Amino acid sequence: MEHNIEVEMNEKKYEVLTDREIIMNPFIYDPDTIEWNIKNSFLSLRKLVRNQKLTPYICAKYVVFGGRNEMYADCSEDAWISTDDILRYQPHITMEQMQQAHRIANKEDEQEDKQELMEKEDKK
């Protein structure tokens, strides 16, 4: 059964992916589509790491340990993906690239945490 659902966001169309499509179509999806799907659908991060070419930023921000507060983890195994796993399944990524991506993602996560805290305080 074909899935091929597209969602338009800010004048860009994103294909909504399933785990099956990730596996059946290895290494074909672009980073923007992958990132959008991680944030907006329920993909297995384990399957994603093993079947698609990812950027260091996507790995650091969304995949390692399920992302910020494990919010992108589909299951407990997704929350246990480590940088070593990334280096094993994404051989084009170096440890140096992952370290740099982690620094960027950590700064963004801190900002997002502060923003959420401010929004909670505003609601009080």
Residue showing tokens 């059964």? 1
pLDDT at residue 22 in the model: 97
**Rounded to two decimals, what is the model's pTM?**
0.86
Determine the average pLDDT of the residues in 80-104: 97
Determine the average pLDDT of the residues in 102-118: 94
Mean pLDDT, all residues of the chain: 91
pLDDT higher than threshold 90 for residue 115: yes
pLDDT at residue 1 in the model: 41
pLDDT higher than threshold 50 for residue 2: no
What's the domain count of the chain?
1
- Its domain, for residue 84, covers 5-123
Determine the average pLDDT of the residues in 17-35: 96
**Cα–Cα separations (whole angstroms), residue 110 to 38, 57, 61, 95, 114:** 20, 16, 12, 22, 6
pLDDT in tens, 28-84: 999 999 999 999 998 999 999 999 999 999 999 999 999 998 999 988 999 999 999
